[in-house]
Structure 1
Amino acid sequence: MTADGPTILATSGGIRPGRRTRWEFSELTEHALELAGVSDRAPRICFLATASGDNPTAITGLYEAAMLRGLHASHLTSFGMPNVEDPAAHLLEQDVIWVLGGSVAGLLALWRLHGYDRALERAWRAGVVLTGVSAGSICWHRGGTTDSFGPDLQPVTNGLGLLPWSNGVHYDSEEQRRPLFQSLVQDGTLPTGYATDDGVGLLYRGTELVEALTEEDDKAAYHVEAGEEAAVETRLDTRRL
């Protein structure tokens, strides 16, 4: 069972510190699982922790979160070598593909090196739900702002482009994010796009945004476009999960 069309839930959330484990999945990831429409078995979820350098501790933490939720979990690595014989086939077998944050620049380079970019597009078109946090949100878009190159944020403009928009993450929690994202949209470095406060996600069907969702009170998503003299930011209606 997969979603009834290409579906992406791009977030600045979906995971929180666990009570007994490092992490637990929160409402945004739960919603991604619901979108996959699985009812008669444990949902299949594949983790890509490329942006963290395939950090074993992070991968273990994700497996623990999956175990608590009763998911059938797997992961796909880039470092060393791919850990499955046929990565493209493995991704097509999933209900949800979940991408961890970290270096979006490194993630994009390695995915293209291994052909994961093409495999992920195939999975998306087949109805596998794509989701993730931070770098795992920007990657599906044309680009966004990143600390991949250092503490002073810079633009990344070579996202997978499954979505024709730019993407701003951690919009309310990292002081450089909002002004830089707006200036990059205004000067044309990035196209018109959408940004999320921490705990907020953007649900796309195909390439169109259909809903903004939040797992925290008083948080929102925003549409950002170039204006005559400065970028125009519009707060979107955001549904509380």
Structure 2
Amino acid sequence: MSHPPQVALLGGGFSTDEDGLLDDWVLAQARTHRLKVCFLPTASGDAPGYAEKFLTAFRDRPDCEPSVLHLFDRKLGDDALRTFVLAQDVVYVGGGNTANLLAVWRVHGLDRLLREAYDGGTLMCGISAGANCWAQSSHTDSFGPLTHLPDGLGLLPGSVCPHYDSEPGRRRSYRSAVATGVLPAGWALDDGTGALFTNGRLTETVSRAPGAHVYRVVRDGGGEADERALPGRELRRGTGTAGRRP
């Protein structure tokens, strides 16, 4: 029996953290003995160093069979690409430019294949642009200044904002976009957090750092942004989780 459709939004992982806690958490959601995990570095222009960092982090895991899918130097034909994507247990999308990522995926038809894989139970996840891409819309710096991008794959309803606590202007700009209706209500992630969605509904939030949160941001009846920190589990090495945060 296939797993239910799941998306994990990440505020960290192999590219930013040394403890591996968020990556451990993601892999635990797939619940397969030996996971085929494919990294998509499209948003960075298939940066070689980024791909190698992923392989370094995942190749020695006994529970993983890592691979990297390059689109800027594509090797697979259409049929082979579909077979490859649908065989993955986890698709892990890296950071970079959200708008460019979506455009390249659509040119190659990868957007349709990812939807098919998601419906079939492949876990979709990613950091920064790799978190933005799964929602209907997102808060992005793809065009230079922070702005809204009403154009995503739509696996998740609403909008996503990464780097909520770490990049100047993110919180203020995202709250303003939601308050004015430029972006729909959505989810904002501090660095060091993760949010799991099952069948499009939030089912868990986690953090690898005390004080880091996932937030629900909505427009209230007075046309202002209402921000609510969500309770979640604190991840720890060895145990995976600790008590529930307030």
TM-score scaled to structure 1, two decimals?
Answer: 0.91
Q: Is the 8 A contact 1:76 1:84 kept in 2?
A: no
Q: Residue 217 of structure 2: SS of its match in structure 1?
A: strand
Q: Residue 142 of structure 1: SS of its match in structure 2?
A: strand
Once residues 115 and 23 of structure 2 are traced to their aligned partners in structure 1, the CA distance between those partners, rounded to angstroms, is 20
TM-score scaled to structure 2, two decimals?
Answer: 0.89
Q: Is the 8 A contact 1:46 1:74 kept in 2?
A: yes
Q: Is the 8 A contact 1:141 1:162 kept in 2?
A: yes
Q: Does 1:121 align with 2:115?
A: yes
Alignment map for 1:12-31 (pairs within 5 Å)? 12-16=11-15, 26-31=20-25
Count of matched residue positions in the alignment of Structure 1 and Structure 2: 231
Once residues 230 and 90 of structure 2 are traced to their aligned partners in structure 1, the CA distance between those partners, rounded to angstroms, is 26
Unmatched tracts of structure 1, length 5 or more? 18-22
Once residues 193 and 36 of structure 2 are traced to their aligned partners in structure 1, the CA distance between those partners, rounded to angstroms, is 23
Q: Give aligned-pair identity as a percent.
A: 39
Q: Is the 8 A contact 1:49 1:58 kept in 2?
A: yes
Q: Is the 8 A contact 1:48 1:98 kept in 2?
A: yes
Q: Is the 8 A contact 1:124 1:130 kept in 2?
A: yes
Q: Is the 8 A contact 1:88 1:120 kept in 2?
A: no
Amino acid at match of 1:5: P
Once residues 92 and 24 of structure 1 are traced to their aligned partners in structure 2, the CA distance between those partners, rounded to angstroms, is 30
Q: Residue 166 of structure 2: SS of its match in structure 1?
A: coil
Matching residue of 2:61? 69
Compared with structure 1, are the counterparts of its residues 235 and 26 closer, same or farther at alpha carbon in structure 2 (3 Å cutoff)? same
* Residue of 218, 233, 243 corresponding to 1:239: 233
RMSD of the alignment, in Å?
1.6
* 4+ runs deviating over 6 angstroms: none
Once residues 174 and 238 of structure 1 are traced to their aligned partners in structure 2, the CA distance between those partners, rounded to angstroms, is 22
Q: Does 1:6 align with 2:10?
A: no
Once residues 107 and 210 of structure 2 are traced to their aligned partners in structure 1, the CA distance between those partners, rounded to angstroms, is 40
Alignment map for 1:1-241 (pairs within 5 Å)? 4-16=3-15, 26-39=20-33, 42-70=34-62, 71-80=64-73, 82-85=74-77, 86-150=80-144, 152-227=145-220, 228-241=222-235
Q: What is the Cα deviation at residue 73 of structure 1? A: 1.1
Q: What is the Cα deviation at residue 69 of structure 1? A: 2.3
Once residues 111 and 149 of structure 1 are traced to their aligned partners in structure 2, the CA distance between those partners, rounded to angstroms, is 18
Q: What is the Cα deviation at residue 201 of structure 1? A: 1.1
Q: What is the Cα deviation at residue 24 of structure 1? A: 5.2
Q: What is the Cα deviation at residue 68 of structure 1? A: 3.1
Once residues 188 and 229 of structure 1 are traced to their aligned partners in structure 2, the CA distance between those partners, rounded to angstroms, is 9
Amino acid at match of 1:13: G
Once residues 178 and 15 of structure 1 are traced to their aligned partners in structure 2, the CA distance between those partners, rounded to angstroms, is 24
Amino acid at match of 1:187: T
Once residues 179 and 33 of structure 1 are traced to their aligned partners in structure 2, the CA distance between those partners, rounded to angstroms, is 33
Q: Is the 8 A contact 2:139 2:159 kept in 1?
A: no
Unmatched tracts of structure 2, length 5 or more? 236-246
Once residues 205 and 155 of structure 2 are traced to their aligned partners in structure 1, the CA distance between those partners, rounded to angstroms, is 18
